[in-house]
Structure 1
Amino acid sequence: MTAREEPSEFVAPRSLAGYLLGAPTFDALLALQRRLVYDVSGDRDTASLVICDHPTGITIGREGSVSHVRPNPNELAARGWPVHWVARGGGAMLHLPGQVACYPVFALDALNLTAGRFVAELQAVARDLCGEFGVEAVADPERPGVRANGRRIAHVGVAVRNWVTSFGLVVNVNPDLAPFRSVRCDGDPVPMTSLARESALRVRVSGVRQRLLELIATRFGFDRVSVFHNHPAALPHPTRHAIPHGS
């Protein structure tokens, strides 16, 4: 396995609210992120992290184009692939079952971070995760993301408004890789891969979700994590439990 990088030193809020969700609809996910951005903007000593699966669909970021999507609108409709234009950086991205999405809602000024450094730290999280499964990964030299054996295994695309982040990191755990031929991620022809394809170890989405929560908490200096398993808009008082990080 590759050696894990040591976490960086940040002036961070002490607590992180982690939302380990299932596969919310994309509209519900956007609404949740908007709410969390609003909350963190009003109290910059707070921080939230949404970890979820996506239903099948395509997002196109600020640098994206419909030319990155090969199927025409009728073909997309027949496949059941909705297209969402979003405010994050980057281009087109195909979302499929078997991916894990991590969306930190952090106040960068509270963490003493630039947007560029934040992206680099998310890439480091993806590299650490890959290393734990015996997969050597490197930062993508062309686009924000991570490659393993020359193939893209993780994608980074963030939005920053008033120094508060949304969107973030998507890791290919064990998706069907064939559909990626229909969408050029960020307009890049580099083929996609996954942890399941590259690792000799057993890879499970549930384990990856939990590990990503722990890796992000460590890397950004949070020592306490409150874990939620429900969408707060759907359940006004969700059950939660507070755990010391690392226990």
Structure 2
Amino acid sequence: MNRKVEIQRLGLQDYKETWDYQEKLFKATLDKKIKNRRENLDEATRNYLLLVEHPHVYTLGKSGDAANLLISEEELEQKNASFYKINRGGDITYHGPGQLVAYPILDLDNFFTDIHKYLRFLEEAVILTLKEYGLKAERSEGETGVWLDVDTPFARKICAMGVRASRWVTMHGLALNVNSDLGYFDNIVPCGIQDKAVTSLNVELGKKEIPLPEVQEKLLKHFADLFGAELIE
């Protein structure tokens, strides 16, 4: 099993460009697995973790409802935002500057073959990261992602998640609001959930801005610990 995970820091990159790149890495891993099986080989597959910020964009998962985008194409243009229907699970979400987006492209045969466990580990990495900032983050039963004050009238989501997997290879991932412009969430029904608000780390801490690289490093540490991964750059 190859538990090395190659970290790629992509900076601020267009959503479609990043999605195409994910698909390229995803397909290469799938092709190697298929070749290994057909030719009875045992060549190691590679694992990646892409860290990126996107310009303003809304993405709708394959099980989502387009009605959860509350603005027109003209209004999208006015807000310099894009919109894509994509091949992950989940409903609609927003990505934008100041958000920590992480896309693990892992061959789970290198770790464990359990998608439920995989999602819980991603959530746990975020929960432990937020704990370092003094926040008690948690899961909301039946809803993927990470939340604050779940069982109160003030429940709010701080991290959205949506993944795709085939032959135990993953893509897409998580989006943690660090310094996000929360006004952009007003244009959607986030994740199709109408009765809960959205928040970000800087708002919760009452600060103008939290250094994104600092949050990335904390998340990487917990990701590596949970998955037993060796991170390489």
TM superposition score category, shorter chain reference: 0.7 to 0.9
Contact 1:49 1:105 in 2 (8 A): yes
Give 1:66's aligned residue.
Answer: 66
**Is the partner of 2:146 in helix, strand or coil?**
strand
Give 1:22's aligned residue.
Answer: 11
**Is the partner of 2:198 in helix, strand or coil?**
coil
Give 1:239's aligned residue.
Answer: none
> Does 2:187 match 1:198?
no
Residue 44 (structure 1) shift: 4.9
Give 1:143's aligned residue.
Answer: 143
Separation in 2, partners of 1:176, 1:206: 18
Residue 182 (structure 1) shift: 1.2
Deviation sequence 1:87-145 (CA, Å, 0-9, x none): 00000001121111010011123312311111111111110111011110001224210
Give 1:5's aligned residue.
Answer: none
Separation in 1, partners of 2:187, 2:15: 20
**Normalised TM-score (structure 1):** 0.82
For 2:167, the aligned partner's letter is N
Residue 153 (structure 1) shift: 0.3
> Does 2:171 match 1:166?
yes
What are structure 2's unaligned runs of at least 5 residues?
Answer: 33-42, 150-154
Give 2:36's aligned residue.
Answer: none
Give 2:162's aligned residue.
Answer: 157
Separation in 1, partners of 2:128, 2:211: 16
> Does 2:120 match 1:120?
yes
Residue 216 (structure 1) shift: 1.3
Deviation sequence 1:25-78 (CA, Å, 0-9, x none): 112201211122133332554211001111101000012122101112221122
**Is the partner of 1:22 in helix, strand or coil?**
strand
Structure showing the higher helix proportion among its residues: 2
Give 2:88's aligned residue.
Answer: 88
**Normalised TM-score (structure 2):** 0.86
Identity of aligned residues (%): 26
Residue 146 (structure 1) shift: 0.6
What are structure 1's unaligned runs of at least 5 residues?
Answer: 1-11, 228-247
Residue 200 (structure 1) shift: 5.8
> Does 2:23 match 1:34?
yes
Separation in 2, partners of 1:142, 1:182: 24
